Structure 1
Amino acid sequence: MSHKSSAQSVDGINEDIPALISADEVIYDEGLGVVTASGNVEISQGERTVLANSVSYNMNTNVVSATGNISLLEPSGDIVFAEHVELTDNLKEGFIRDIRILLTDRSRLAASTGQLTSGNISVFSNGVFSPCELCKDDPSKAPIWQLKAKKIVHNKTSQTIKYDHAWMEIFGVPVIYTPYLAHPDPTVKRRSGFLLPTYGNSNQLGITLQIPYYWAIDESSEFLFAPIATTKQGIVLAGEYEKKFNKGDLSIEASATIADRDENNGNVEKDEFRGQIISEGRFDLDKTWRWGFNAERATDDTYGRVYGFNTDSELETSAFIEGFRGRNFARLDSYTFQSTRNDINDSENPYVLPRAQYNFQSQPGVTGATYRLDANAQALGRSEGRDSRRVSLIGGWDLPYTGSWGDQYKLTTQIQTDGYWVNGVNTENDEIRKNGDSYTGFTGRVFPQIALEWRFPFASHRGNFSQTIEPIVQGVLAPNGSNPNEIPNDDSRDFEFDDASLFSLNRFAGTDRVDSGSRVSYGVKWTASTVSGNQADFLIGQSYRFSGKSNLHEENSGLKDAVSDIVGHIGIYTIDNFSALYRFRFDPDDLGANRNEIEVNIGPAALNLDLDYVFLKDDNIDGETSDREEVKIGINSQMTKYWSLNSSYTRDIDADSSREASLGLIYHDECIIIDSQYSRTWFQDREVEPDNRFMVELTFKHLGTIQPL
């Protein structure tokens, strides 16, 4: 027998929230006002539902009594299991015996008895809470960790679970007792409170202990106060602040301490204030414009490396406003630098105040031709050393054409006009400070270029395999010279000739130097792909300068001679856990390697290998010419569902010495994270000495985690 009854006309039920009863058999005693249901019983009222073997419902007292395989589905998504339940007030209040609750994130709470109050507060006696999954082979086995307490109160309004006289058990063994404990329930993403500590040890700092406090200020901002106690360097105050606005983001990371500091001359300064700040902001003004800043500053060169905050060789402070519209871009910015290297004098570091740039790119015309204009102006100064003011205009016109055979042409005309006012520029060398003959005054140049590029792609498709072979030739006509000694080189110092810059009109990175002289560049490009997504490509090329040797390029640059080095790359990118990239630069006379770079990633998550190798012949490092050869190997393994391992090792092959190594072992399941990391460094720079560091971080779900805004 099946019967459904709506309680709209029954006085004991809220008229706005009708009760719906469904069961195999329903008996209604009109005299007593009792409905008894048995067999697959379901009672729904509002957003709450009760499932049971047998239920009696007293309409006069509005009491629901249920027995046998009871399930109570809460509006929050929690599911309550019990053997006996008595509920009143629209299923919001009542008594429950032998209760078990599956929370929304699959955490579990169980108790001998429970009391529901207004549907918002649940009180449990002799309760147990754990977010850990039970063992499938033996559900009675203790989980990895659980909390046991004489009394557990779950307040759904404040979204908090509180414990009186609680024990934490790990694998069923009591390890920690506390008379009081509280943590957010699974519905909470962010909640203020102390996080679990991080333990570490290093030669430089001694034993370290970090106990963070997380403050959820409001829905859009948060602050993490994470001081570090060290046995060798005292207390380090550290914190991070993040704020999200409707149209931007702000982050501030700062740390400070009072500690000894080793000077370059070997002296030790006692009780010095040391610290740093790293901040970033990005803010939209409208759909076109945004502004932002970076602030990076430290009290001294070695602070970040000693305390493990950062290993950057340069800190940048800058501010900008920029706009994007169509193909056009404009930006106004200023910046300054602080070096953390021993051989760099900050008084020689440049500051730019301001720099303005504008880039215009036209839409293609009827013939496909486009116009472009790159304009920039900047004022560059130093505390000590040369200064410069620059205005630069680069205008260009590009005309593409495709022949009837598929041959492709591109004609480019470009003219660069630069005007400089300079102060104290050495005319015989590139030193920043005045040394010998120097020049102060106005200078500049006009540098035209005409280039014609030809490509002829040959494509073939066979089955699931496609490939294209494409010979490329580019001729460039330009005057020689065009780099007078009175123009300082501030933005083109890092020069790199490789396959990426082979066909660039200016192979210098900046504006202060131009790639003068007529030349021809040529190469062959091959690409291949399969339907499944595997890809490979290859490029090899060279350049020839008609004017012979260059006085502008260094001996080890690859462009010193009329015939350049041979550059190229080979890349393989598969979907079957393998990728490799080999970049090279060979001497054209004997095909000896002047540059080799290899990047390989092979293997699935179960065992993945990363290999990075670099060789630079006669690399100019800090003004000294020497070979550089280095290899870095990384092995990562997802050994099991929960256990993973990461490791890396870097070695300076040329110096025959190790640089750094690390090994990490991580356990991560649904309720706990154990992160242990060991690192070893061999390099030394003033007070930064070879060091061994060990760190262990333990995170219990709900007791110490941070989720980003």
Structure 2
Amino acid sequence: MLAGVALAVLAVAGAHAQEKAPASAPSADGLQPDELYMEADLVVRDDAHKTITARGDVEVRYNGRTLRAQELVYDEGRGVITARGDVQTISADGTVEYADEVTLDDEMKAGVATGFSTRMQDNAKLAAASAIRRSDTVNELNQAIYTPCELCVNDKPKKPSWSIKADKVVEDRDRQIVYYRNAVIQVLGVPVLYLPVFWHPDPEATRKSGLLPPTISASNRRGFSYQQPYLIVLSPYSDLTLSPQINSKVNPFLNGHYRKRFYSGQIDARFGYTYDRDFDSSGDPFGDRTSRSYLLASGAFRIDDKWRWGFTAERASDDYIFDKYEVGNVYHARGPYLTDDRRLISQIYSVRQDERSYLSIAAFSIQGLRPTDVDRTFPLVAPLIEARWEPQRNVLGGRLRVNASAVALTRDQSSEDLTQRLPGLDSRRATGGLDWRSSYTSQIGVRVDPFVNVRADAYSLSDLPTGGSKTTSRALAVAGADITYPLYRRFGDSTVVLEPVMQVAVSPSAKQITYVDYSGATVYLDEDSRSFEFDETTLFRADKFPGFDLYEDGARLNVGARASVLWDDGRRAEFLVGRSFRDAVNSVFPARTGLQPRASDWIVAAEAQPMKGLSVFSRVRLDSDSLDVERAEAGANFALKRASGYFRYLRDDSNVNGVKTENLDLGTEVPIGQHWGVTASGSLDLEQSAWIVRNLGVFYHDDCLRVDIIYRREDTVVGRLGPSDSIAFRLTLATLGEAINAN
């Protein structure tokens, strides 16, 4: 038998002796290029017919490929190999192909197979009655089926959750695409879609053009809607996703998403367009046909190791375009400057930063999408300059920082009386200052951090309500110290830390910038501190105003106590309570903040991670006299074995607009059994005892498929859009667009 194997090896190798390349490094199996290794239980050489037959656990290795079968016949004259019985062909990349019978050329690259199947990456499988192997990278299959699902469980056959059956399938690994002719997509054994021509990326492809999962929905605004994303890979560094939304009640709407990565940064742009009349919450059209569109774009680039620049471009042709066409993920940060909900910001910025200095130059404008917003009343901010520098050495035993800032705001119209188109207030400010801070720790553990901050501002106001302009300047200063005395002790597997905190700060009387409004009242200029809250994040600020226009003066004492419990297994809990005292009433603070009296409201805050997968937080502001809750916020996030979700609660007796608010946001996903589950989320206005929005869904998922059906109810009235009901259907198939996360 050994002699027969040796003869077979010599015979096949000899057929390539004329073409054999010079010796090179061996492959992973130890063979040189064009060397062949074969083993079998029995080898028979027929010189008359020029054939070699191997039987019984045959294995042939050649040029990185391995062929296994129960019988193998090599025809030397024709250069053809025929393998029968549990045939396996293993390529150099690890891909395995199976067949009942295979006929190959003598390099095992091209051939024909019957009873063919293959397992690709991501566990995807192709099977066919017959297959033609054109080359290493191209397979043609007849009467084929494709599925990434498991076909057996516990050694028992299992019908795939989804599959594609076709008369003909071509797997092109060079192009990383699988083509189908007369394809039928089956979900849970039921045919759901017939496509005469269809293709999708090869599971081995990392990025490839093709269809992504569609979104199907029905609502009283647009009627029946079908949105089909298609990914176009433009280059290894850029792609474009086009998502036409076909609606039964209104004209189609095209969404797009373009991404491109450069050597120094990237661009991300979303856009949408339609040509249609406006419509109300019932889908009834009105007005003239016109172009309606939106743009949500951003870019960020690095010039060198210190400089970077970027931009955002956010605009919409009408205020309700995102609501009408259900465009999601709109109001989030795309650049360093943020806006409120239902407002868009376009900005351009450049930043230079190193270990000792920082410089930022920016400009931005805002578009309001709220029913009461008038864009002419929003300022154009250009430029906005912020800079700081620290010397390398300490000064007087502490860290010194030099700060500078400048900003110009221009308004087209005043917001006081929109009917008269009154001129808007324009303002310009330039600021320079020094900030010094040091730290000392005594032998008993008391830490004292003294600080001094001096600042000079120059202001220029124009288009004042009373007419004319105003130029003024001021000098500001504050000195004080932060004092803490942390105490800790071990208790079993935990560490307890108690830390009393005190801050003393003294400032001379500050000159506030004022002007007279159209009613004749004197008001403080406040362009940058209108929406701040008094909580644990601002309790120990020497100047609690986050901006520059308003300044906290006088003598004040901020006191509090922190307590922490840190367990060795990662659990933790933290608690803080404190308040602020001052030498006199400060009417510069809005009454709603609780900072006007000599003794401020109480601040209480806590957060904890009591177990793995659960985190909670709460912050409360209590009235200084009655201890009534003036503002409260609480929330939790959980990701447990049986459920995941979140909740947020907010109560504010007087928000920025002086209106009491109380609302609750919550959401959860709860699996039911191995494959089924429900989702629920919503936002409840407790002050109005009405839901703002509600979502209720059911889903099915397994190793290769997820189906979501979601009912959505919007009860709020946004402008002329009234309440809305919709049902959305989403089908996600593994290897077609995105992965399935099966738990």
**TM-score, normalized by length of structure 1?**
0.91
**Partner residue in 1 for 2:269:** 252
Q: Which amino acid aligns with 1:489?
A: D
CA distance, structure 2, for counterparts of residue 166 and residue 303 of structure 1: 37
After superposition, give the CA deviation of every residue in 1:675-698 in whole Å (9 maximum; x if it has no partner): 322211111122221111211122
What is the deviation of 1:399? 1.1
**Partner residue in 2 for 1:389:** 428
**Partner residue in 2 for 1:116:** 133
Aligned: 1:399 with 2:438:
yes
After superposition, give the CA deviation of every residue in 1:36-63 in whole Å (9 maximum; x if it has no partner): 4444432111121112233344455443
What is the deviation of 1:15? 2.3
What is the deviation of 1:24? 5.2
CA distance, structure 1, for counterparts of residue 254 and residue 103 of structure 2: 54
Asked whether the equivalents of residues 2 and 24 of structure 1 are also in contact (C-alpha less than 8 Å), the reply is: no
CA distance, structure 2, for counterparts of residue 246 and residue 383 of structure 1: 40
SS at match of 1:626: coil
CA distance, structure 2, for counterparts of residue 154 and residue 519 of structure 1: 75
**Partner residue in 1 for 2:714:** 681
**Partner residue in 2 for 1:428:** none
Aligned: 1:443 with 2:472:
yes
Asked whether the equivalents of residues 201 and 210 of structure 2 are also in contact (C-alpha less than 8 Å), the reply is: no
CA distance, structure 2, for counterparts of residue 695 and residue 504 of structure 1: 48
CA distance, structure 1, for counterparts of residue 674 and residue 400 of structure 2: 57
**Partner residue in 2 for 1:278:** 296
Aligned: 1:294 with 2:307:
no
**Partner residue in 2 for 1:430:** none
Q: Which amino acid aligns with 1:132?
A: C
**Partner residue in 1 for 2:526:** 489
Q: Which amino acid aligns with 2:601?
A: D
Aligned: 1:671 with 2:687:
no
Q: Which amino acid aligns with 1:497?
A: F
Aligned: 1:132 with 2:149:
yes
Asked whether the equivalents of residues 343 and 366 of structure 2 are also in contact (C-alpha less than 8 Å), the reply is: yes
| Aligned-residue RMSD, C-alpha | 2.7
CA distance, structure 1, for counterparts of residue 182 and residue 436 of structure 2: 79
Asked whether the equivalents of residues 659 and 681 of structure 1 are also in contact (C-alpha less than 8 Å), the reply is: yes
Q: Which amino acid aligns with 2:107?
A: N
**Partner residue in 2 for 1:145:** 162
**Partner residue in 1 for 2:15:** 11
CA distance, structure 1, for counterparts of residue 58 and residue 567 of structure 2: 58
| Inter-CA distance 583–136: structure 2 relative to 1 (3 Å threshold) | same
**Partner residue in 1 for 2:116:** 99
| Inter-CA distance 216–606: structure 2 relative to 1 (3 Å threshold) | same
Q: Which one of the candidate residues 81, 89, 93 is aligned to 1:72? A: 89
SS at match of 2:593: coil
What is the deviation of 1:320? 0.5
Q: Indicate the larger mover: 303-312 or 523-532.
A: 303-312
| Inter-CA distance 154–576: structure 2 relative to 1 (3 Å threshold) | closer
CA distance, structure 1, for counterparts of residue 739 and residue 149 of structure 2: 19
What is the deviation of 1:456? 0.4
CA distance, structure 2, for counterparts of residue 255 and residue 573 of structure 1: 42
Asked whether the equivalents of residues 262 and 687 of structure 1 are also in contact (C-alpha less than 8 Å), the reply is: no
Asked whether the equivalents of residues 19 and 43 of structure 1 are also in contact (C-alpha less than 8 Å), the reply is: no
| Inter-CA distance 96–394: structure 2 relative to 1 (3 Å threshold) | same
| Inter-CA distance 181–453: structure 2 relative to 1 (3 Å threshold) | closer
User: Size of the alignment, in residue pairs?
Assistant: 691
What is the deviation of 1:438? 6.0
Q: Indicate the larger mover: 329-338 or 146-155.
A: 146-155
Asked whether the equivalents of residues 93 and 117 of structure 1 are also in contact (C-alpha less than 8 Å), the reply is: yes
**Partner residue in 2 for 1:25:** 41
Aligned: 1:616 with 2:621:
no
Asked whether the equivalents of residues 476 and 510 of structure 2 are also in contact (C-alpha less than 8 Å), the reply is: no
CA distance, structure 2, for counterparts of residue 386 and residue 55 of structure 1: 91
SS at match of 1:158: coil
Aligned: 1:242 with 2:259:
yes
**Partner residue in 1 for 2:670:** 637
CA distance, structure 2, for counterparts of residue 347 and residue 526 of structure 1: 49
CA distance, structure 2, for counterparts of residue 528 and residue 20 of structure 1: 68
What is the deviation of 1:161? 2.5
What is the deviation of 1:583? 0.4
After superposition, give the CA deviation of every residue in 1:237-277 in whole Å (9 maximum; x if it has no partner): 322211111111112211122333479xx995332432211
**Partner residue in 2 for 1:411:** 450
**Partner residue in 2 for 1:351:** 380
CA distance, structure 1, for counterparts of residue 664 and residue 343 of structure 2: 23
CA distance, structure 2, for counterparts of residue 210 and residue 479 of structure 1: 63
**Partner residue in 1 for 2:518:** none
CA distance, structure 2, for counterparts of residue 530 and residue 271 of structure 1: 64
Asked whether the equivalents of residues 411 and 425 of structure 2 are also in contact (C-alpha less than 8 Å), the reply is: yes
CA distance, structure 1, for counterparts of residue 578 and residue 467 of structure 2: 40
Asked whether the equivalents of residues 474 and 521 of structure 1 are also in contact (C-alpha less than 8 Å), the reply is: yes
CA distance, structure 2, for counterparts of residue 619 and residue 194 of structure 1: 46
**Partner residue in 2 for 1:167:** 184
CA distance, structure 2, for counterparts of residue 297 and residue 86 of structure 1: 62
What is the deviation of 1:544? 0.4
| Inter-CA distance 390–323: structure 2 relative to 1 (3 Å threshold) | same
What is the deviation of 1:174? 4.1
Identity rate, percent: 26
**Partner residue in 2 for 1:431:** none
CA distance, structure 2, for counterparts of residue 686 and residue 116 of structure 1: 62
CA distance, structure 2, for counterparts of residue 87 and residue 260 of structure 1: 63
What is the deviation of 1:364? 6.1
CA distance, structure 2, for counterparts of residue 519 and residue 463 of structure 1: 40
What is the deviation of 1:12? 3.8
After superposition, give the CA deviation of every residue in 1:587-643 in whole Å (9 maximum; x if it has no partner): 12121111111112346142235221111123342xxx3321112222222345544
Aligned: 1:471 with 2:500:
yes
CA distance, structure 1, for counterparts of residue 695 and residue 125 of structure 2: 37
CA distance, structure 2, for counterparts of residue 701 and residue 678 of structure 1: 24
**Partner residue in 2 for 1:654:** 687
**Partner residue in 1 for 2:539:** 502
Q: Which amino acid aligns with 2:659?
A: S
CA distance, structure 1, for counterparts of residue 156 and residue 249 of structure 2: 48
| Inter-CA distance 693–642: structure 2 relative to 1 (3 Å threshold) | same
SS at match of 1:552: coil
Asked whether the equivalents of residues 217 and 727 of structure 2 are also in contact (C-alpha less than 8 Å), the reply is: yes
**Partner residue in 2 for 1:307:** 325
Q: Which amino acid aligns with 1:534?
A: R
Structure 1 residue runs of 5 or longer lacking an equivalent are 426-433
What is the deviation of 1:166? 3.5
**TM-score, normalized by length of structure 2?**
0.87
What is the deviation of 1:361? 3.5
Asked whether the equivalents of residues 680 and 695 of structure 2 are also in contact (C-alpha less than 8 Å), the reply is: yes
Pairwise mapping of residues 528-539 of structure 1 onto structure 2 (< 5 A)?
528-539=565-576
What is the deviation of 1:580? 1.3
Q: Which amino acid aligns with 2:667?
A: G
| Inter-CA distance 88–367: structure 2 relative to 1 (3 Å threshold) | farther
After superposition, give the CA deviation of every residue in 1:178-200 in whole Å (9 maximum; x if it has no partner): 44333332222333344454221
After superposition, give the CA deviation of every residue in 1:144-193 in whole Å (9 maximum; x if it has no partner): 22222333332333333333343333344445444433333222233334
CA distance, structure 1, for counterparts of residue 46 and residue 246 of structure 2: 73
Q: Indicate the larger mover: 676-685 or 23-32.
A: 23-32
SS at match of 2:642: coil
Asked whether the equivalents of residues 176 and 208 of structure 2 are also in contact (C-alpha less than 8 Å), the reply is: no
Q: Which amino acid aligns with 2:256?
A: G
Q: Which one of the candidate residues 517, 522, 528 is aligned to 2:559? A: 522
CA distance, structure 2, for counterparts of residue 88 and residue 228 of structure 1: 50
Q: Which one of the candidate residues 372, 375, 381 is aligned to 2:404? A: 375
After superposition, give the CA deviation of every residue in 1:95-117 in whole Å (9 maximum; x if it has no partner): 22222211122111112222222
Q: Which one of the candidate residues 599, 602, 614 is aligned to 1:563? A: 599
| Inter-CA distance 529–196: structure 2 relative to 1 (3 Å threshold) | closer
CA distance, structure 1, for counterparts of residue 85 and residue 609 of structure 2: 59
What is the deviation of 1:668? 3.7
| Inter-CA distance 103–519: structure 2 relative to 1 (3 Å threshold) | same
What is the deviation of 1:513? 1.2
Q: Which amino acid aligns with 1:596?
A: A
Q: Indicate the larger mover: 416-425 or 231-240.
A: 231-240
Asked whether the equivalents of residues 40 and 59 of structure 2 are also in contact (C-alpha less than 8 Å), the reply is: no
Q: Which one of the candidate residues 462, 465, 473 is aligned to 1:423? A: 462
